[in-house]
Amino acid sequence: MRTKQAVAAAAVLLALTATSCGDGGSPSDSQSSQAATGKNGGQAGSGADGNGNTGADGGVEATLAKVADADELIQLISNATTCEYESTEPEDTIFGDIDGSSPESAAAEMAKTNEAWGIKERATCDGIDGASSNGHALVVVSDMARFQAAFKARQEADLAAGEGDVRTRWFVGQNFAARIYGTDSDERDMLSLGVLGLNCAPNYATPPNSTTQDALVGGCILTNFVDA
């Protein structure tokens, strides 16, 4: 698995840099350095498979890592950060960035929310200090374009309400998305798993020494810059 993740991370960086050059940018190193790869879960992408993947001609998205299911996503994330006491139970997988701030209504509306966001499976595991309040938000996605559109709408609404975060906090693969609650180093280590940061904040700009590409949804970008 170590070789697969090394290939995934290298492929993403090469594709992102090549795309940036093709858009008139210049290749450069990421401010967030590529960390040593882990040993479990995930694989480099090479084409579409009907599970949220974009296809061989889908740009950098097709080079991102993909997972078979929530269990494999948990294994993958554990290579970058603490991931203890994993769960896929609905009561444990209510995520504020997706479901809002009311746990009661979120639980009742989860099936509808999953449909709206293109979410196939949910999972969580505890991050910093093993505290449940720091549980990672992990989702396997059946429709990445739908997920990004819903993510954009939520981020814009939160920002308009003065409650949002313009920083890049979510990472996406071909068919999964994750927000981790770890150290700054953990967030940088996520890039070694073959993922990129997703940001849809209006007027968000990354530093000159990072690389970006348009995401599947207009107004969103994929980037190798981590706002740590």
Nearest to 14 by CA among 196, 219, 199: 196
Using one digit for the tens of pLDDT, what is the confidence trace for 187-210?
Answer: 999 999 999 999 999 989 999 999
d(C-alpha 55, C-alpha 62), whole Å: 6
pLDDT of residue 10: 46
What does the chain come to in residues?
228
71 vs 3, higher pLDDT: 71
Give the containing element (helix H, strand E) for 125: strand 119-126
pLDDT of residue 127: 84
DSSP secondary structure of 11-38: HHHHHHHHHHHHTT------SSPPPPP-
* For the ranges 40-54, 118-132, 149-163, the one whose mean pLDDT is highest: 149-163
Q: What is the pTM of this model?
A: 0.78
Per-chain mean pLDDT for the chain: 81
Using one digit for the tens of pLDDT, what is the confidence trace for 77-129?
Answer: 999 999 999 999 999 999 999 998 788 889 899 999 999 999 999 999 998 76
Evaluate if residue 39 carries a pLDDT over 60. Answer: no
Sheet with 212-214, side-by-side order of all strands: 84-87, 119-126, 137-141, 176-179, 170-172, 196-199, 221-223, 212-214
- Band (41; pLDDT cuts 50, 70, 90): low
- Band (164; pLDDT cuts 50, 70, 90): confident
* DSSP code, position 110: H
Nearest to 48 by CA among 218, 223, 216: 216
